[in-house]
Structure 1
Amino acid sequence: MLPFLAILAAGLASSVRAVTVYSQQTFGAATTSAAAASYTGAAAYDPTVLNAPAVPNPAPATQFSVQLQSQASAVQGLSIPQSGSFLGFSIEMSVINQILGSNSSFVQVPFLNLMSNLATRGGHVNVRVGGNTQDFATLVDSLADGKMMEKDLEGVSNPTQTPPLLFTPDVLYLMNNISSLVNVRWYLGIPLNDSQNLRLGIAEAAEQILGDNLLGFQVGNEPDLYADHGHRAPGYSQFDYFGEFGSVIAAIASNDQILVKNNLIGPNLATGDWTPEMVWDTGFITSYSSSLGALGVEHYPDNNCAAQFGTDAQAKDPQTVFSDYLNHTSGQLLVQPYLNSTGIAQGAGKPFIMFETNSASCGGFPGVSNSYGSALWMLDYGMQMAHSNFSGAHVHIGGQNVYYNPFTPPPTNQSTFHQWTIGPIYYASMIIAEAFGNSNQSQIIDMFANDANMYTPAYAIYDNGSPSKVALFNYITDSSGASNLNVAVSINGATVPSSVKVKRLSAESVSTKSNITWAGQTFGGSFESDGRLVGDLDIETVNCDTGNNVCQISVPAPGFALVFLSDDALTDADQASTVQTFSTTAVTKTVNTATIDASVLATSNGHSGKDRKLGSTSKGSSSDAPRSTATSAFAAVAAMAFGAIVLVGRTWM
């Protein structure tokens, strides 16, 4: 398949690229200069820019030391071994036809490129498809017009107005086709809205179609909120959930079509009305250990439900909450309720996973969730979860109406001239994949740097027992340079190398949404990306003082620096030059497009048009209009290839 796709793409790359995206909201084109109050477009492109918090008073010390140990065995508090796939994604099930592709034959090229960035650095990518919509999803044999998914917009529920879904096995074939191109593995969910009439079709079909690319099934999504959301009777408790989970286990045990019996994930709490300990106290882990593949929770640090969905609560001011995300304490407080549970999970031999998280539930906050500050926050939060012995986390992705998406495809009515929008949080996923690498032996520790100052955290990463990388943060925005950090990195029991390499995540302010770069490269602004980094790679070489056993690393305000302590560490992590990328092999707009043979264009100096026939370019208006032979040739080739995977990009106008 790949040779065919490569040949087809190579032959057409000079003439056409196309995209088809279905079931997205339409909106008027937004301008970044518009005042936030006048913006009426989709949340995913909201231009709101907040004010960066003032320099803290007292300000933290700008010069401090970070001392590593030459051997991991000498370090107290190192995490369990972690994988470069640690920070994956959670895609709301109702928007997979926007994110993944319209069906199993049409796959979104930017999504493949984004996943390839991560898989190359971290080995593979874990993606959970679920959310509130998984509990109300039903597998059917087919849908009208050949669609793979259909929403019941009349039956929405929850504060987030979640629609019930019908979906076909083509959804699973789409996922498997993605996995055949990029090393993506999947978590799914068994619907639990009607525990008296369980629907196990998704487990039967997914096991057969996805095979080893299937990681497991959630059973229930935020069951501690079921009663509040009207999905169970008042008084629904952790003991009721315990019983329903047991009924799923019994149904799977008696189902001959489901061969894997030990890949279920629970309890998937929102940690709202229940704590994990309340579920553990029911005997959940000991009773169901042989059926559990992992323990899972879901949590957001805040919510924007009042502003987004008109709930009874007072709407929160994004400017007021912005500073809550711009310090190390945020991630520490988020993991604190789970520290006991990560220990319990290790004792039970089970991974403990943050199945769904992001900056704020109900879509995040404008100016907060889509700012450079959110990238620093997610980097810190992700590393804090890894340090605290979570085994993975999934950053949630919604549709056009949320602020926090790591990436967002353009609306359908703009897909022929707009590309994808890559959010700042995606950079965090890519950097963690690079920092943890693909050895599956990285161990993370919070260094409590600079007297544990919350604005200047640091982490050390040990790989295969030796120090590999150092991650340095500066949450402060200060254009004067007075808040820039100078960090002295040393190694106890060994000598620092003669030089180290440094890659930086840079922007001028924590509030900015544009000109964000990772080692000099970027995904651009709104509607500008096909999922590939652009720009020249800029890796800084810092000479060290081996006599005094110190490397001086600067960190601008704001800024993040990843320090590679050896060339091997950089080589293992930085595989950008070998990232597999994907080209378009389908065209969806075949009229009013211009195609020129590249060889003709290269040698052409122009010529008179006085002897040429002119005609209308409107379809069917005139037979004199020149016909695009390249487009016709493509149509013929594509017709012969019908049924193969088609990679969807966009048409250049």
Structure 2
Amino acid sequence: MGRLPALLPLPSSLSVLLCFPWFLSIISVLTQDPPAQVTIYYQPNKTPGASQTNTASTANYTGAAAYDTTVLNPPGLPNPMPALQFGIQLTNRGMIGMSIPQAGSFMGFSIEMSVANQVLGKNSKHIQVPFLNLMSNLVKRSGGVHIRVGGNTQEFAEMVPSLPNDRIILKDTTNTNNPTQTPPLEYTPDLLYMMRNISDFLNIRWYLGIPFNDTNWRLQIAERGEEILGDYLLGLQAGNEPDLYVRHGHRPQGWGPSDFLSEMQSLVSAIQNSANSGSPYAQKYQRLLIGPNVNTGDWTPEMVWDTGFVDALYDHLLYLTVEHYPADNCAAQFHTGATVVDPQTEFPNYLTHQAGRNLISPYLNSSAYAQSKGKKFVLFETNTASCGGFPGISDSFGAALWGIDYALQLAYSNFSEALFHVGGQNVYYNPFTPPPTNQSTFHQWTIGPIYYSALVMAEALGTTGSAQVIDLSANDGNDYTPAYAIYENDVPVRVALINFMTDNSGTSAYTASISIGGGDTGQPASTPSSVKVKYLSASSVSQKANFTWAGQTFGDHFTSDGRPMGEESIQTIQCDSTSSTCQISVPAPGFALVFLNDKALEESTDGGNGEGGEATTYSTTAVTKTMNTATIDQEVLATSNGHRAGDLVGRMGSTSRRSSGARAGRGVKGMDMSMVVMGMISIQVVGGVLLDGVW
């Protein structure tokens, strides 16, 4: 399968100090006549007589959208207010209207191809440790994660044998053929090896995309994808938002759904020709196509179905797919000339149960149609808003609640999966964002609200693959207090409760009284004596970062290594045996996941295998940047006397690797094996892969 070459064993620790170019430069400075003035810094608490320097507050970040500080005002309380006490009556033999069975991997991710080398890793030998930890949290709860690497940038992508400096992706930033300014790419097979190495650590399965910019089909990504990923290759997207091709200048005026079908048939013919020409992989991947991936922009899905799309391609279509965002911020982000949307005005539209229902209603017919054809129906790309989302909405606690309600509504409406998009530094909606490259040695990752939504969904659906979701239309269908029940084998196992309101006084918290059987259900009462509850909490729907899920958090901007921080807190609620009800309070704002039995909790937290314990986590074993790795606060550095050192020493050093002309010792295939004396970094070999990250 083209695995990594065998690596020579390395010692667990190095006691010999390596000679660094910057050290030689200091010697050069000290031997000048007269000697230049320098300041020597010792590692705190490691050098006798040295005192530890206090750390100044982090300098304000004023750059990328991913760290925008905009905080909106939470919407006012609704008028009239919903009832703050209401009952939820469940039956113990299933309920009419439940969804198809759903897997815990329902909520996955779509990573824009152009940023895969930032999110996943530098290359197949340098995998991002925080990414592994984040995915491990989900695998622990759901059994697996599905990820698409693609998007607009897949459409013009071209595989090449290699790129300079061990790169796996190279962007042509001089040519942006899309309105979102996503560049064409060159990429190497090492991107696929990196994905496969990730799957060797965790149960992660992948979607790729065949370029659709013209009909001179480039099948290398399908060929090598099948060869390298094997069973971890889930499917191959064919066409990304073809209903927008004409609008974006990628097809001539008049090109429509029938033309798209013809091109899909041309693609299938090319794959079959490849199989007939001796490809050992085409016979399999020709059955992995997914489409039509319309964005419901200039076409509706029905316009594609009406061409005979499914019947004509039936044996080659794995899933039927669409892409959809509830709104767009293109006018503000890319100056399209359209009216700029005011996020403050838009914010309330995300904070009602009707938001998810309205998004899904155009697809209910297609969802039923897919079932009639025996195909899964997948929302292949979505998030809070296209063109990067909205500041103050997409990165707020409100987005986490919106994401939960949206995902549960999708599951209830018989979608089989939904992928939430991940972009670069210039978007607001990322579930997770690595720090900018030039800050990766002293900043960690930023975890967005949509990742919290994914954690909740993984636990809500569990690992059995038999979870069925029903929208309870609770509290007389009130939009601010939605509730869902999750059944397994006709037995209620979990209840999901959302409160979209914000009220710090506590008077807008509501109490749901849950009963199972009894009453007028015609079934014996089976309300448990107690239930377990996990809460997703924040002070306001407009709060940014530091949300807690069962008492644990991923912190603020630049603070996460992918592992939850804090002690887990699971509440035990005693139920009323006299009334056969369990009283569950949900704060304003907040979310509660109620586990109706201990087995349901086990399935959602340890995969149902009884092993218990925490998710597998990964430690740093290598660093990709060994120059300038000492952590120095920006404000401290700005006021120090070291800012003129470059003037004194000529080519003393640079933040750009190799620009000083000095090269450190190198090991396997470009791996820089030098160690930073002041760093707490050990170099180990783990499963043949060197993991990339910073403690």
Alpha-carbon distance, 1:94 to partner: 0.4
> Given residue 248 of structure 1, which amino acid in structure 2 is its aligned partner?
L
C-alpha RMSD of matched pairs (Å): 2.8
1:117 aligns with 2:137: yes
Alpha-carbon distance, 1:642 to partner: 11
Contact 1:137 1:165 in 2 (8 A): yes
Taking structure 1 as reference, are residues 277 and 584 closer, same or farther at Cα in structure 2, changes over 3 Å only?
A: same
Contact 1:116 1:579 in 2 (8 A): yes
> Given residue 120 of structure 1, which amino acid in structure 2 is its aligned partner?
K
Q: TM-score, normalised by structure 1?
A: 0.87
Q: For the residues of structure 2 that align with 1:549 and 1:251, how far apart are their CA atoms?
A: 63
1:584 aligns with 2:604: no
Tell me which residue corresponds to 1:388. 413
Instruction: State which of 56, 62, 66 in structure 1 corresponds to 2:78.
Output: 56
Deviations 1:136-188 (A, max 9, x none): 11111122333211111111022101111111100100000000001100000
Deviations 1:326-379 (A, max 9, x none): 010000011101101111111111110000000000000000000000000000
Taking structure 1 as reference, are residues 231 and 580 closer, same or farther at Cα in structure 2, changes over 3 Å only?
A: same
Instruction: State which of 259, 274, 296 in structure 1 corresponds to 2:283.
Output: 259
> Given residue 236 of structure 2, which amino acid in structure 1 is its aligned partner?
F
Listed as ranges, the matches of 1:615-626 within 5 Å are none
Taking structure 1 as reference, are residues 558 and 363 closer, same or farther at Cα in structure 2, changes over 3 Å only?
A: same
Which ranges in structure 2 are unaligned for 5 or more consecutive residues? 18-56, 518-522, 607-611, 632-648, 655-672
SS in 1 for 2:621: coil
Tell me which residue corresponds to 1:529. 560
Contact 2:629 2:676 in 1 (8 A): no
Deviations 1:75-126 (A, max 9, x none): 1110000000000000000000000001111000000001111111101000
Q: For the residues of structure 1 that align with 2:538 and 2:597, how far apart are their CA atoms?
A: 26
Alpha-carbon distance, 1:439 to partner: 0.4
Q: Number of paired residues? A: 597
1:645 aligns with 2:694: no
Deviations 1:390-417 (A, max 9, x none): 0000000000000000000000111110
Taking structure 1 as reference, are residues 69 and 99 closer, same or farther at Cα in structure 2, changes over 3 Å only?
A: same
Taking structure 1 as reference, are residues 592 and 303 closer, same or farther at Cα in structure 2, changes over 3 Å only?
A: closer
Taking structure 1 as reference, are residues 344 and 9 closer, same or farther at Cα in structure 2, changes over 3 Å only?
A: farther
More deviation, 274-283/39-48: 39-48
More deviation, 583-592/46-55: 583-592
Alpha-carbon distance, 1:133 to partner: 0.6
Q: For the residues of structure 1 that align with 2:686 and 2:479, how far apart are their CA atoms?
A: 56
Contact 1:269 1:276 in 2 (8 A): yes
Q: TM-score, normalised by structure 2?
A: 0.82
SS in 1 for 2:541: coil
Contact 1:410 1:419 in 2 (8 A): yes
> Given residue 69 of structure 2, which amino acid in structure 1 is its aligned partner?
P
Tell me which residue corresponds to 1:18. none
Q: For the residues of structure 2 that align with 1:299 and 1:481, how far apart are their CA atoms?
A: 36
Listed as ranges, the matches of 1:419-568 within 5 Å are 419-492=444-517, 493=523, 494-568=525-599
Listed as ranges, the matches of 1:47-446 within 5 Å are 47-72=69-94, 75-195=95-215, 197-256=216-275, 257=279, 258-260=282-284, 261-446=286-471
Q: For the residues of structure 1 that align with 2:422 and 2:292, how far apart are their CA atoms?
A: 21
Contact 1:33 1:47 in 2 (8 A): no
SS in 2 for 1:254: helix
Q: For the residues of structure 2 that align with 1:630 and 1:11, how far apart are their CA atoms?
A: 10
Alpha-carbon distance, 1:619 to partner: 8.0
Alpha-carbon distance, 1:205 to partner: 0.5
More deviation, 502-511/545-554: 545-554
Contact 2:630 2:679 in 1 (8 A): no
Contact 1:9 1:584 in 2 (8 A): no
Contact 1:9 1:583 in 2 (8 A): no
Tell me which residue corresponds to 2:28. none
Tell me which residue corresponds to 2:33. none
Deviations 1:516-540 (A, max 9, x none): 1000000000000000001011100
Taking structure 1 as reference, are residues 563 and 219 closer, same or farther at Cα in structure 2, changes over 3 Å only?
A: same
Percent identity for Structure 1 against Structure 2: 58
Contact 2:102 2:466 in 1 (8 A): yes
Q: For the residues of structure 1 that align with 2:132 and 2:98, how far apart are their CA atoms?
A: 34
Contact 2:67 2:428 in 1 (8 A): yes
SS in 2 for 1:118: helix
SS in 1 for 2:495: strand
